[in-house]
Structure 1
Amino acid sequence: MNTELLVERLKQLGWSYTADQPDGLLEDSSKNNVSYSEFLYTLLSKEIEYKEAIELEKRIKKSRLPYVKTIHDFDFSFQPSLDQKRINEALTGRYIHHGENIILLGPPGVGKTYLAISMAFEALTQGHTALFITANDFISECRKANKEGLIQRIIKRYCRPDILIMDEIGYFSFDELSAPTLFQIISKRYEQGAMILTSNKSYVEWGKIFGDDVLATAMLDRIVHHSTTFNIKGDSYRLREKKKAGLQPANIR
């Protein structure tokens, strides 16, 4: 058969990966005396793997993750307060299907953002959608959207993905616009969409973060109801690296 005609038909099916390399696939099949069924299975598998890789790339881009990390590089030995079995359970993604939340609490530098990103990335590889934003960027987005009369669009945007990841809650105070906007998002996502939140503040301090004890209590009531909290009490990874590099005296914590 004329391979040009084969390529044309493959492109009509949208099989771009196979269409780009029919000669190689046919040659490998012929050399190894592959059966028709095995050849067809290989063809389908490679095309599916290619399409899945493209879709994963799209989901990663849309998620706005600041970087990609996997849990395999996380140093659990440096953070003994973390239960690796509980982390591995979170990585299964069951919390997503149940609309539950993961809260990572602890001082700066203990790996909260790393864990949040690695959990989000694992979910992306499982086919879920995600959206990452820092609390400070969220506050800025709300102010800009409000000036343009688009605050409802912000609410819809952050209610849409399977997982919403909000990082660094507590470093900046929410204002009279961003606090109730976040509350609306949390309320709409309650028992419907999962969230991963990181904070350097304990729950009792959230009233100060949002400038309203009643609002903070209402938020926490919905967030914590179906959630898993990881309270990380170890030292800072960044400080450890500085010590290794001789940039920080070893006795300073």
Structure 2
Amino acid sequence: MLNHQTMEKLAQMKLSGILDGFKEQIDNPAFSDLAFEDRLGLLVDREYLLRDNRRLTRRFQEAHLKVKASVEDVDFQAPRGLDKRLFLELASCGWIGRKHNLIITGPTGGGKTYLACALAQKACREGIRCLYYHFPELLQDIGISRAEGSERIFARKLATRDLLVVDDWLREPISAEIARSLADLMDERFRNKSTLFATQFPVAEWHGRFQDPTLADAVLDRIVHDSHRIELSGDSMRKRTSDLTKSAT
């Protein structure tokens, strides 16, 4: 009867890890040989692991990463100029802790999105809150926030994420109105949070993507000076991994 009451209380307190472990210890006589402290430690470990896994799952769900990617599966053999030492150093996530940015540039199909998502996935595993945005979708949400008069609220909301991934950065030419919103967003994140930019445009061409050069300076000044860089080259990774391409060689 006492065990039943204990299990009911554990369920009410939503301590499901301890509850499952407690049931296991009751059903398995082998646990009776363990000291009380050891049995208690096993229950606490089970609850801790369960909660840690839930937090990790929640971080993955919140990140909205475009592709399933991991640093362990990155192809370092493809001839695309990817420095393995640099990438693995970035995968340690120290740059995020230092509030630095990362810029990944390269041709279409070079694997920029995969690398960005792999680094974000690793950051999630390290307890870092991330958010992925495809640049056109970011512009759309900025436009909605401007129409609703909630631009500052939107910028501050994004500023809560330790790592913001902006994929296809500057794919669309930037009007003066959008540049002002981007300046606000980058100002909120400048040396407070980290942003990862993946783009086919070399940094030297970024300024020309803005209609207003003064606003371009305001946006880019908050990005490029504290940024690590990965510059890719070579053929499309899609070409290398296509079954049709392989059969033709």
Unmatched tracts of structure 2, length 5 or more: none
TM-score, normalized by length of structure 1? 0.89
Alpha-carbon shift at residue 102 of structure 1 (Å): 0.9
Question: Which residue of 2 is the match for residue 9 of structure 1?
Answer: 9
Question: Which residue of 2 is the match for residue 245 of structure 1?
Answer: 244
User: Could you say what secondary structure the match of 2:17 adopts?
Assistant: helix
Alpha-carbon shift at residue 23 of structure 1 (Å): 2.1
Unmatched tracts of structure 1, length 5 or more: none
Please say if 1:130 is aligned against 2:130.
yes
- Provide the C-alpha distance between the structure 2 equivalents of 1:241 and 1:68, rounded to a whole number of angstroms: 16
Counterpart AA for 2:125: T
Alpha-carbon shift at residue 195 of structure 1 (Å): 0.8
Alpha-carbon shift at residue 78 of structure 1 (Å): 0.7
Relative distance call for 1:195 and 1:218 in structure 2 (3 A) is: same
Please say if 1:197 is aligned against 2:230.
no
Question: Which residue of 1 is the match for residue 168 of structure 2?
Answer: 168
Q: Report % sequence identity.
A: 24
Question: Which residue of 1 is the match for residue 120 of structure 2?
Answer: 120
- Provide the C-alpha distance between the structure 2 equivalents of 1:192 and 1:79, rounded to a whole number of angstroms: 35
| Contact residue 142 and residue 177 of structure 1 kept, 8 A | no
Structural RMSD (CA): 2.2
Question: Which residue of 2 is the match for residue 100 of structure 1?
Answer: 100
Alpha-carbon shift at residue 209 of structure 1 (Å): 2.1
Alpha-carbon shift at residue 80 of structure 1 (Å): 5.0
Alpha-carbon shift at residue 21 of structure 1 (Å): 5.1
Relative distance call for 1:110 and 1:80 in structure 2 (3 A) is: closer
Alpha-carbon shift at residue 61 of structure 1 (Å): 1.5
Relative distance call for 1:205 and 1:249 in structure 2 (3 A) is: farther
Counterpart AA for 1:245: L
TM-score, normalized by length of structure 2? 0.90
- Provide the C-alpha distance between the structure 1 equivalents of 2:11 and 2:28, rounded to a whole number of angstroms: 21
Counterpart AA for 1:123: A
User: Could you say what secondary structure the match of 2:234 adopts?
Assistant: coil
| Contact residue 69 and residue 118 of structure 1 kept, 8 A | yes
Alpha-carbon shift at residue 86 of structure 1 (Å): 1.1
- Provide the C-alpha distance between the structure 2 equivalents of 1:118 and 1:222, rounded to a whole number of angstroms: 24
